[in-house]
Amino acid sequence: MPMLTDSKNKFQRGLVYLFAILASLGIAPFVVIRYMNGQVVNAMVDLAIVTVALGSAGYTWWRGQATQLISNITAALYSAGAVAVAHLNEPIFVFWLFPALLANFFLLKPNAGLLANILAILAILPIAAKLETSTQMFAMISSLLICGSMAYSFALLTSRQQASLQSYATQDALTHLGNRRAMNDEMQMSIDDFARNQTPATLIVLDLDFFKMVNDKYGHSVGDGVLIDLAGLLNKRVRKTDRVFRFGGEEFVVLARNTGLEDAAVIAEQLRVQIELELRDPEGTLTASFGLAQLAADEKLEDWFNRADKAVYQAKQQGRNCVVAAASPAAVLN
């Protein structure tokens, strides 16, 4: 997910920078021309557009990301600027609104862009009403509506495709739980929260016992059904604040956020009991072995997961169907 999110943010940053460049090259000269021609108000409108565009680009560069606020300001700037230019000049200057209609869908979400475009077109209606013939009026309005509608359709399709791609990138295809990439992202968020606010987090890693025998004896279709049932059980039993992932094969992970080791051990034991009571294969009961590790100070993501994974191995060594908590790195060193 962050890979896609970062890619989208890079695109948004690029748009903010692009609009700043276009405003500087395409609009800034009109500031001088109109001021020299005595059109002071028009020149001030153009200057405001250029100033805000450059300011937005500078702020985005300073932050290193394009915030939604900057996108909203940029969209409002171009829409209001295009409408103002059209009202201050001849009707032909309505053509400035067309790029603004397109830009809104790049900067805003589809529905927000649609609302912004409707408001912009409504603001142009007084200009259309003053045209010499009804044909000219309807031609102006129709061209704006057609442009806005086509841009909206494209933006809506793109938004849906992006949502699908994000789902494919972060969701396990079989169980519809988060995949390893999603797990890494959530773990990194927990690490960042711990570094800032000392918010505890504990990994609960579980591995089905003797699952290979299920696949070998009954086939992968039965095994897949077991994994799907386990995913549903975990989703049903964990807390709303917890996150569940399929790491791979028969190994699953629960990220217990804002939770210390003792509380996580209670959660793990409850899950262990529920799996033993509810999860079945054609021969009967299935069990799982659990390993826990609470995030330690300055611990890397890989080290955190490896401690929990080793605890699972210890649970297997102790007879399976049990919960083992990993010692903290400091305790191991001592």
Grouped pLDDT means (10 residues each) for the chain, 334 residues: 54 81 86 89 86 87 80 85 86 88 87 93 92 91 93 88 77 93 93 94 97 93 96 95 95 96 97 96 93 96 96 96 90 55
Domains of the chain: 2-170 (no CATH), 180-333 (3.30.70.270)
Residue 20, C-beta contacts closer than 8 angstroms, at least 6 positions apart: 53, 54, 56, 57
For residue 319, give both structure tokens. Answer: 């007879």
User: Residue 105's Cα: distance from chain center in Å?
Assistant: 18
d(CA 308, CA 251): 12
User: Residue 241's Cα: distance from chain center in Å?
Assistant: 18
Indicate the angle between helix axes 97-107 and 68-88, nearest 10 degrees: 170
Active site residues: 250
- Which residues is 243 bridged to in the sheet? 255
Helix (H, G, I), strand (E, B) or coil at 129: helix
Pairing of strands 251-257, 284-285: unpaired
Residue 248 region, left (φ>0) first, then alpha (ψ -120 to 50), else beta? Answer: left
| Whole-model pTM over 0.85 | no
d(CA 230, CA 203): 18
Per-residue model confidence (pLDDT) at position 6: 57
